[in-house]
Amino acid sequence: MTSDSKPRDDSQAFPDIDRIIHEPARLMIVAHLYVVTEGDFLFLERQTGLTRGNLSSHLGKLESAGYIDIRKEFIEKIPHTVVRLTDTGRQAFESYRLSMRTVLDSDSGSH
Amino acid sequence: MTSDSKPRDDSQAFPDIDRIIHEPARLMIVAHLYVVTEGDFLFLERQTGLTRGNLSSHLGKLESAGYIDIRKEFIEKIPHTVVRLTDTGRQAFESYRLSMRTVLDSDSGSH
DNA sequence: GTAAACTGGTCTGTATTACAGACCGGTATG
DNA sequence: CATACCGGTCTGTAATACAGACCAGTTTAC
C-alpha cells in the first residue's frame, strides 16, 4: 500500500472517539452503569478497583460531561452516593460503542 | 444496584486494556495496518491526519512495543519509510479487539 | 471513652504523554 | 536561488491519570 492513490485523502474513515468514555477507568464505570442503570459508590469502587479519590475524580468528569447523575443522600446518617447514567450518557456510550465497532471491524470494507 | 451483595468482589469482569493500542492515534495506525499489511509514511499520514512529528513519535512507540516493523529505504534517492505489523502486533490487536468487544458487549451476562 | 473502621470525598504531588510546530538534512523542481 | 517534498528530531505545553495523605462525620469495638 502506497500513498500516491489520491493527492488529498482526508477520509475520516475513522470516527471521532469520545475520549471521556474512551479512558479505561471511565469506560468501566459507564459500561457497568449501562447495565445496572444505577449503582452506588461502593459498588463502583469494587467493580472498578479504583481508589476512592480516583473514582471520585472520574465521576466528577463524567458528571461535568453530563453523562451521569450523582445523587447524594443519607441512609441512617451514613452518606450514600448513587450514580445513574443520564440519557445523554446512554447515547454517548452507544455512540462510542458504534464508533469502536466500526474501527474494530474494519476487516476489509475500507476501500 | 447496591454494593452489599458480596463483601470482596475483585471481579476483574473487565479485561486489561492495552494502552499502547488503546490510544486513538495508534489505534488508527494499527487498524489500518491490520488490513493493508504494509503502508508507507505518507499513507499513514493521510489516513490518520496526524502531523509528521506526532506520527513519527507514535510509530516509535509501536516499534518499541514490538508491534510494528519499520523499514527505511531509498527510492531514487528519496527516503521511503514502510511500516508493517509484526506478528506480535497482529496478536496484540486481535487481543485488544477481543477485550473491547467483551467490554462493549456486556449487555447482560455479567451476573 | 478512646481507638479503629467505614463512607465519600478533597487536595497535593508525581509522572506520563499527546500534540503542535519549529527546525533540519537531503533531494528535486521551478 | 527559492520553494517544496520526505521523514524525521526536538522542544515546549497542556492535560491528565493515579496514588495516597488527609478529613468530617458516624458507627463499632474494646
**What integer best gives the mean pLDDT of chain A?**
87
- Tens of pLDDT along B41-66? 999 999 999 999 999 999 999 999 99
Question: Which protein residue has its CA closest to C1' of C10?
Answer: A53
- Taking only residues 20 to 79 of chain A, the set having a beta carbon closer than 8 angstroms to any beta carbon of chain B reads 22, 24, 27-28, 31-32, 34-43, 45-49
What's the pLDDT score for residue A1?
55
What's the pLDDT score for residue B43?
97
Q: Give B35 to chain A, closest Cα distance, Å.
A: 6
Q: Which residue has the cell 447524594?
A: A72
Residue A51 CA distance to nucleotide C8 C1' (Å): 11
Task: Answer for the pair A13, B27: CB distance below 8 angstroms, yes or no.
Answer: no
- Tens of pLDDT along A3-27? 443 333 444 467 889 999 999 999 9
Best B2, B52, B68 member to test A by mutation, with max A CBs in 10 Å, is B2
DSSP string, chain A: --STT-S------S----HHHHSHHHHHHHHHHHHHS-EEHHHHHHHH---HHHHHHHHHHHHHTTSEEEEEEEETTEEEEEEEE-HHHHHHHHHHHHHHHHHHT-SSTT-
Mean pLDDT value of segment B69-92: 96
- Tens of pLDDT along A43-71? 999 999 999 999 999 999 999 999 999 99
Of B10, B13, B36, the CB nearest to A1: B36
Q: In the sheet where B68-75 sits, what is the strand order? A: B39-40, B78-85, B68-75
What's the pLDDT score for residue B14?
75
Q: What percent of chain A clears pLDDT 90, i.e. is strictly above it? A: 77
What's the pLDDT score for residue B81?
97
For chain B, list the domains and their CATH numbers: 19-99 (1.10.10.10)
